[in-house]
Structure 1
Amino acid sequence: MSAAYVVFFLAAALAAACGAEAALVEHTFVVSQMKMHHMCNDSLVTLVNGQFPGPTIEVTEGDSVVVHVINKSPRGVTIHWHGVKQHNNCWADGPAMITQCPIPPNKNFTYRFNVIGQEGTLWWHAHIGFLRATIHGALIIRPRLGPNSYPFPKPDQEITIVIGEWFDMDLFELYEKTENRIYGDIPLSPTINGMLGDFNNCSGVTEDSYKLDVEQGKTYLLRIVNAGVDKAYNLKIAGHKFTVVAADANYVKPYTTDIIAIASGETFDALVIADAPPGRYYMVAQAVQTTEPITQKRVLMSRGIVSYNPMKWSGDDTLEIMAPELPDWHDESPSFYFHGNLTSLLPQTVPSNIDEHMFMALRSGYNCLYGGAPHCTVTMINNISFQHPSTMSLLQAHYYHTMRNISSLLEYPIGPPMLDFNQTRTATATLVKKLRYNSTVEIVLQGPPGQMSYTNPMHLHGHDFFILAQGLGYYNPEKDVQKYNLVNPSVKNTAHVPMNGWTVIRFVASNPGVWFFHCHTEHHSSSGMAMAFVVEDGPTVETTLPPPPTYYPSCGGQNSIVEYV
C-alpha cells in the first residue's frame, strides 16, 4: 500500500473516531457525449451519466469520497472538487496539467478524498478547457450532528439551484480559440437546473422552465451554485427575500436581501420563506455584463417559476406570473454591495504577521503575440499570461524536483513591471510562486479601472482565505488598510474582484502541494489570468506531500493540453 493510501485511510479513521461513524460515499461518473436539443438546434455535448447538470454528491462532514471516472468521450477530462481543501491530498485536486494529466479517452481514473472540517454547499466540475459548461454538479456537505445543528432555523426542505450556461457551439473549438488568445462567443442563454426558461424561444417554441413547488409558510434552504463559465448573475424571486447563511461552505452572519449576486465559481446557501400570497412567481437569473466600449451582445436571462399550491395552477398557463424588478444588466453595484455585506458568523482569528505581500494587476489586452488576429485577446497577472506545462503536471514536476526542466517556468515577480492598464505587451510563462509551509500570504487583487473594466472571480485551490476588504478605483496601501475587517471577515475560496476596483485576501499556506489560482471566468483563465502556488512541505509526515497514486494518469507524450481537448 502506497504512502498516499496510508495517509488517506488514516485520515478517514481519524474522522470516524472523532464523532459519528464516517461513511464511504462512492460514485461512478461515466463521461460520454450525447445530443441535446435547444433553441432549434441539436448540439453534441459531453456529460456525466447523461445528466445536465451532473449528479449531486451528498456527504456528511467527515465522510470519505470515492469517484470512479470512466472516460468514454473522445477527449481527455479531469474533475476538480471545487472548494474541497484536499488537505495533504493534492493529487486528487484535478486541474489539468497542474495536479494531473488528463484522463485519456477509453481510460479510467479514481478520485479519493476526505471531506473534513467543512459544511455547506460546494460543487464539482471538469477542469480542462470549457468542458465544465456541461460537466458539473453540486457537492453538499451536511453537518455530522444532523440538520438540527445548523446555526440557523432548520428548513422544511433543501433545494439545489445550479445556474449554468448553454453554448450553441462546440466547446472544444471554443477552448482552442481561447487558449490561442482568440476571443470566443458568449453563451446563448443561462440555465437554471439545466433548463433555459421561457424567456428563450425559437420559431415560437419556448424553452422549458425550472419549476419549484412550495407550500405557504414553509422555509426552504436554497443551495445556489454558479456553474457558468462566463458570467456573474443576479438571482431574484419576485415577492420574496433571501436570508444568506453561508458562502463557499462557510457560515456567514445571516444577511437578508432581495438579490443573490453570484459570480462564477461561488456558492451561497440562503433561506427563503414562502410567505407571499399564493400564486406563481418568476425566479430569474440575469447575467451582469460589461458596459461600452466593450462589445455589447444581448441580455442573458433564464426564468424559473416558484409556484404555490401547484395543483391549483396545473395546466393553466393563462394565470399571471409575477416578475421581479431587476437591476440594469450593466449595473455591477448590487454585486459590490452584496459581497461587501458578507461577514463570518463567528469571530475569526486572522493572522497578523504577513510573510508574503503580493500585488496582482488583473487585466486583458487586444494586442498579443499570436499572429495579430483581429479579435486576439490575452489576459494576464502582472503582465504575465499563464501557459500550461506540456509534458508533465506541475505537481509531478514539483514532487520529482524537475520543475527547472520546464522551459516556460517563471518565478512570480514581486510586483507588476508597470501599473499601466493600457500596456498591451505581455510575456507568456508558467507562472509559479513558492511558499514556505505555514506562511501567511496577503494579496491585493487589482482589477482594471476605466472603461474597459470587468469583474474577476479569483479562485484558490486547496485553501480558504479571508476577504479583508474591497473598494473601487486604485488600491491605496496607506488609506485602504484602515478598511480591513480583521474581526469577522467572510471566509471563501472564490473572491469577487469588482469592476473598476480591488479586493484584498489573506490566507495561510498550510497545505503542501501545487495549487492553482485563477480567474473563474473561463475566457480569462484559458487565455492566461492564472498562476500556481507551490507550497513546500512542512516538518512532519502529516505535513509532507505523499507520492502520487500508482494508478496516476500519464501525459502519454502529448505536446500540449490542447491535444487532449
Structure 2
Amino acid sequence: MEACNYYTPWWCCLVGLFILFASAASFPIAAETHYHEFVAWDSTTANSMGRWSVIRDPVPDPTRATVYGALIIKPRAGSSYPFTKPKREFPVLLGEWWTSNPIDVVNQALRAGAAPNVSDAYTINGQPGDLYNCSRKDTIVFPVDSGETNLLRVVNSGMNQELFFTVANHKLTVVGVDASYTKPLTTSVIMLGPGQTTDVLITTDQPAGRYYMAARAYASAPPIVAFDNTTTTAILEYKSVPCPSTKAHSKSKSKCNSPRPIFPFLPAYNDTRTATAFTTSLRSSSYLTPKVPADVDVSLFFTVGLGLNPCAPGRTCQGPNGTNFTASMNNVSFVLPSTLSILQAYYRGVNGVFTTNFPPIPPTQFDYTGNVSRALWTPMRGTEAYRLKFGTTVQLVLQDTNIFVTENHPIHLHGYSFFILAEGFGNFNPRTDPAKFNFVDPPHRNTVGVPVGGWAVIRFVADNPGTWLMHCHYDAHLTWGLAMVFLVDNGVGELETLEPPPADLPRC
C-alpha cells in the first residue's frame, strides 16, 4: 500500500501540484501545511518518501534523493502477523547520495539531453557505511541479541537503481512485499526496484559477532549505460560481541577494538538470473483478502522503453550521436500538464489539459526485443490517459523494448495494487505464454519489474475512481516521459464516486 491509494487521488494530485508549481516560476505558491486523512488498508511496510508529503512522488522530484522515510502499518488491535512475531523491527532504507545538488544534476541532464550523472554513493538509513572514509565512523549499527527473530523492513528509496541486499551469514525470510503478505520465502539475497518494499525475518543464529548488511546495484542494461558500482554497508551487531560499538564509540578513554565485521557474498551487478529467481519465487499469502479476478473485461498491451529525439536547432545535445534522450509507453512520451493537474481538469471538466486517446496496444507492431528500426526510436509527445469504467477487470501486458537498449523497468501504478500473473523474456506470445499464468497465489504488488528484454502481465480491478499515474520508477525515465494515466470513471453511489477536492488544495 502507498498513502496515494484507495479514495486518495487528491493527495496524489496535491503532490503533483506542489512540484509543478515549485518548478515553474510562473505558478508560485506559498509555503503551506496540509493534512490528509486516509485509511491504512494493508499491514506491512509502505513506501513513504518525498519532500512534499509522505508518499512516493508521482512526478520527478530530485529533492527525494535526500528526504524520505518509511510509513509502517501495523496489524489492527487484536490481530497479529501471519508469521513468527518478531522481537523487534528495523526500518532499512536504501538510498542514493550525490555530492552535488541533485536538482542541479537533473537540470543539467535535461539541458544537455543526456542521462543524469550517477550517484556518488548508496546509503543505508542515510549513511554510505564502512567502505567510504567519509562515513566510516557513522556507519549504521543494528544491535541484536543472540537467538531472536527480528523484522527488517527494507525499502528501496533510491532514484534510479535497482539494488541487491543481503546480510552476511544469515538467511532472510521474506514475509511481505509492497504492503502485501507473502508466503515465507527463505533466501540469501533480495532484489528491490526503486519504490519497492520487502519485509524479511532474520534470526540471529550465528556466533556472536558483527556482520555486514550490504547493498549494491542490479544493473540490467548493457555496459554502455553508466551506473554507480559501489557498495553500501551497515552492521548487524550481536550485543554479546567483545567490545560492541556502543562501547567502542563512547567517550571512555579505555581502548576498545571491535572485531571486524564479516562481509557477505553479493551477486554480480549484472546477475539477472539471481534477480529473476527471487522475483519469480514470490507467492502471495493465503491471508491476502483480494483474489485474482477470473474474467477479463479489457486486455491492454503497453510497450515500455527509451528513445531518442533529434536535437533542436541551435542546441548541442549530449545524448547518443548528438540526440536527446526520451522514453515512452506505446510510443507516447508523457508530457506533464503546465497549468492544471489532470485530476483537476477531469473534475472541473476543463478541456485542453489532456486527452483520453492513449492507445490500448502499440500503434505499430514490431519485434520488440529484436533489432528495432531507427524509424521507431522517436516517439510522439502527449498528455494522454486511458479511460476505464468503474469495476472493469484489466489485464495488462508490459513489454520491454530494444529501443536504444533493453533494461529492467520498475513500473508503478498509483492508487492500486495488482496481481503479477507471470513474467518472461523475449516477446510476449499471446498463444503460449498464458499457460504460465499463476491464478492461485501470484504476488500482489504496486510496482512490477518488467524484465530486461522481456515482459510481465498484471491484472487488477479498476475500483478506485480518479486519475492514476502509471510510470517507471527510475526518475530519469519518468523525467523523459515513461508514463501514462488511467482515468477511472465513477461507479454508483457515494463509495464509488470521486470525492471533491480538499478545501486547502493549493491554487496558483
TM bucket by the smaller chain?
A: 0.7 to 0.9
Does residue 544 of structure 1 match 2:497? yes
State the partner residue of 2:118.
186
Does residue 340 of structure 1 match 2:287? no
Match of 1:361 among 300, 303, 317: 303
Partner Cα separation in structure 2 for residue 293 and residue 237 of structure 1? 27
Deviations 1:124-146 (A, max 9, x none): 22224222111211000001135
Paired residue secondary structure (2:457): strand
Contact 1:468/1:505 (<8 A) preserved: yes
Offset of 1:114 from its aligned partner?
1.8
- Give 1:232's aligned amino acid: E
Offset of 1:154 from its aligned partner?
0.5
Offset of 1:326 from its aligned partner?
1.3
- Pairing 1:150-169 to 2, within 5 Å after superposition: 150-169=81-100
Contact 1:178/1:527 (<8 A) preserved: no
Offset of 1:100 from its aligned partner?
8.6
Does residue 139 of structure 1 match 2:71? yes
Partner Cα separation in structure 2 for residue 98 and residue 454 of structure 1? 30
Does residue 387 of structure 1 match 2:327? no
Does residue 405 of structure 1 match 2:352? yes
- Give 1:86's aligned amino acid: N
User: Structure 2 stretches of 5 or more lacking a match?
Assistant: 23-27, 51-56, 249-255
Match of 2:202 among 268, 272, 295: 272
Partner Cα separation in structure 2 for residue 480 and residue 116 of structure 1? 36
- Give 1:140's aligned amino acid: I
State the partner residue of 1:217.
147
Task: Name the one with the larger strand percent.
Answer: 1
Paired residue secondary structure (1:287): strand
Deviations 1:446-497 (A, max 9, x none): 1135982211111111111011001111111111100001111111111111
Deviations 1:503-547 (A, max 9, x none): 110111101111111011111111110011111111112211122
Partner Cα separation in structure 1 for residue 342 and residue 107 of structure 2? 21
Please identify runs of 4+ aligned residues in structure 1 that moved more than 6 A: none
Partner Cα separation in structure 2 for residue 227 and residue 298 of structure 1? 15
- Pairing 1:3-42 to 2, within 5 Å after superposition: none
Paired residue secondary structure (2:138): coil
Paired residue secondary structure (2:35): strand
Aligned length in residues? 469
State the partner residue of 1:374.
318
- Give 1:137's aligned amino acid: G
Partner Cα separation in structure 2 for residue 317 and residue 187 of structure 1? 32
Deviations 1:232-286 (A, max 9, x none): 1111111001110011111100000001111110011110000011111111011
Question: CA 1:381–1:240 in 2, change beyond 3 Å: closer, same or farther?
Answer: same
Question: CA 1:287–1:94 in 2, change beyond 3 Å: closer, same or farther?
Answer: farther
Offset of 1:383 from its aligned partner?
1.3
Contact 2:173/2:200 (<8 A) preserved: yes
Does residue 415 of structure 1 match 2:356? no
Partner Cα separation in structure 2 for residue 149 and residue 122 of structure 1? 18
Question: CA 1:100–1:523 in 2, change beyond 3 Å: closer, same or farther?
Answer: closer
Offset of 1:378 from its aligned partner?
0.7
Contact 1:99/1:396 (<8 A) preserved: no
Contact 1:97/1:390 (<8 A) preserved: no
Offset of 1:222 from its aligned partner?
0.6
Does residue 474 of structure 1 match 2:422? no
Paired residue secondary structure (1:495): strand
State the partner residue of 1:87.
6
Question: CA 1:90–1:291 in 2, change beyond 3 Å: closer, same or farther?
Answer: closer
Partner Cα separation in structure 1 for residue 220 and residue 310 of structure 2? 22
Question: CA 1:214–1:368 in 2, change beyond 3 Å: closer, same or farther?
Answer: farther
Partner Cα separation in structure 1 for residue 456 and residue 132 of structure 2? 35
Offset of 1:317 from its aligned partner?
4.6
User: Structure 1 stretches of 5 or more lacking a match?
Assistant: 1-81, 557-565
Partner Cα separation in structure 2 for residue 215 and residue 420 of structure 1? 55
Deviations 1:26-68 (A, max 9, x none): xxxxxxxxxxxxxxxxxxxxxxxxxxxxxxxxxxxxxxxxxxx
Does residue 323 of structure 1 match 2:278? no
Contact 1:97/1:392 (<8 A) preserved: no
- Give 1:359's aligned amino acid: F
Partner Cα separation in structure 2 for residue 534 and residue 439 of structure 1? 12
Offset of 1:297 from its aligned partner?
4.7
Offset of 1:300 from its aligned partner?
2.2
Contact 1:98/1:394 (<8 A) preserved: no
Deviations 1:403-447 (A, max 9, x none): x322x6461112112235533111111121111111111111111
State the partner residue of 1:114.
38
Partner Cα separation in structure 2 for residue 427 and residue 98 of structure 1? 25
Partner Cα separation in structure 2 for residue 480 and residue 317 of structure 1? 57
State the partner residue of 1:304.
234
Offset of 1:393 from its aligned partner?
0.6
RMSD over aligned Cα, in angstroms? Answer: 2.3
Partner Cα separation in structure 2 for residue 533 and residue 99 of structure 1? 21
Contact 2:491/2:497 (<8 A) preserved: yes
Partner Cα separation in structure 1 for residue 406 and residue 139 of structure 2? 33
- Give 2:10's aligned amino acid: W
- Bigger shift: residues 357-366 or 287-296: 287-296
Deviations 1:113-165 (A, max 9, x none): 2224311100222224222111211000001135x611001111111100011
- Pairing 1:220-259 to 2, within 5 Å after superposition: 220-259=150-189
Offset of 1:372 from its aligned partner?
6.2
Offset of 1:327 from its aligned partner?
1.1
Paired residue secondary structure (1:142): coil
Contact 1:100/1:393 (<8 A) preserved: no
Offset of 1:206 from its aligned partner?
4.2
Paired residue secondary structure (1:377): strand
- Give 1:355's aligned amino acid: D
- Give 1:322's aligned amino acid: I
Offset of 1:319 from its aligned partner?
2.5
Partner Cα separation in structure 2 for residue 142 and residue 185 of structure 1? 38
Paired residue secondary structure (1:163): strand
Offset of 1:293 from its aligned partner?
4.4
- Give 1:441's aligned amino acid: V
Deviations 1:161-182 (A, max 9, x none): 0001101222222333455643
Partner Cα separation in structure 1 for residue 128 and residue 177 of structure 2? 25
Partner Cα separation in structure 2 for residue 207 and residue 363 of structure 1? 41
Partner Cα separation in structure 1 for residue 325 and residue 403 of structure 2? 18
Give TM-score scaled by structure 2 length. 0.87
